[in-house]
């Protein structure tokens, strides 16, 4: 039985096999959680990202975690919110789905997700959380994950995820 939990805090501190980054298509760093992960991982992360040649929105690519506690970073590129009629839901779902595939490929037992796209990219928190929880939950059985963390940086996001997990009885 996979343990799914909501943690309020800084994803760079979590002792998990993989953390997910909310990156941009260049994969060359930025602000928000992207900036925090690059700062904590050190310069080698940027060099590894430079070799990836970018990433399409709605997908994710992998690097080692370097100086992070996590062994891997899955750099997911979420959609910028543009009113909800430009395929944003599908692209956000693609980020979580690709990360669950990568978790299988890298035989990851524990993973932490930030609330992808809900900061600078302005994706509505509740709608994004529902996509995240549903997509992850639908692909749990096919994974070998023992622990999934939704890492929320603010209280409102943490409450949204906590309520969703309770209502879904996950």
Question: Which residues are identified as catalytic?
Answer: 34
148, 2 in Cβ contact below 8 A?
Answer: yes
137, 168 in Cβ contact below 8 A?
Answer: yes
Least distance to ligand APR from the beta carbon of 1, Å? 25
Centre a 10 Å sphere on the Cβ of residue 156 and count the other Cβ atoms it contains.
10
Cβ proximity to ligand APR: between 90 and 144 the closer is: 90
Least distance to ligand APR from the beta carbon of 42, Å? 15
Cβ proximity to ligand APR: between 24 and 137 the closer is: 24
Chain residues that interact with ligand APR, rule: CB under 6 A = 10-12, 22-24, 30-36, 78, 114-121, 151, 153-154, 157
Least distance to ligand APR from the beta carbon of 18, Å? 14
Burial 5-31 (b: 16+ CB within 10 A, else e): ebbeeebbebebbbbbbbbbeebebbe
Cβ proximity to ligand APR: between 35 and 69 the closer is: 35
Tokens matching residue 68? 């992070």
């Amino acid at each position: 039985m996979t343990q799914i939990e909501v943690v309020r805090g800084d994803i760079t501190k979590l002792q998990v096999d993989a953390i997910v980054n909310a990156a941009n298509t260049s994969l060359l760093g930025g602000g928000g959680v992207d900036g925090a992960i690059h700062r904590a991982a050190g310069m080698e992360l940027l060099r590894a990202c430079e070799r990836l040649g970018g990433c399409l929105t709605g997908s994710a690519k992998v690097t080692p975690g370097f100086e992070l506690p996590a062994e891997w970073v899955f750099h997911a590129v979420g959609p910028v919110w543009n009113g909800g009629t430009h395929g944003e839901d599908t692209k956000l779902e693609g980020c979580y789905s690709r990360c669950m595939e990568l978790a299988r490929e890298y035989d990851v037992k524990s993973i932490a997700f930030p609330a992808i796209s809900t900061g600078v990219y302005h994706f509505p928190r509740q709608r994004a959380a529902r996509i995240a929880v549903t997509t992850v939950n639908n692909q749990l059985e096919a994974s070998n994950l023992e622990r999934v963390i939704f890492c929320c940086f603010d209280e409102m996001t943490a409450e949204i995820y906590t309520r969703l997990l309770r209502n879904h009885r996950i």
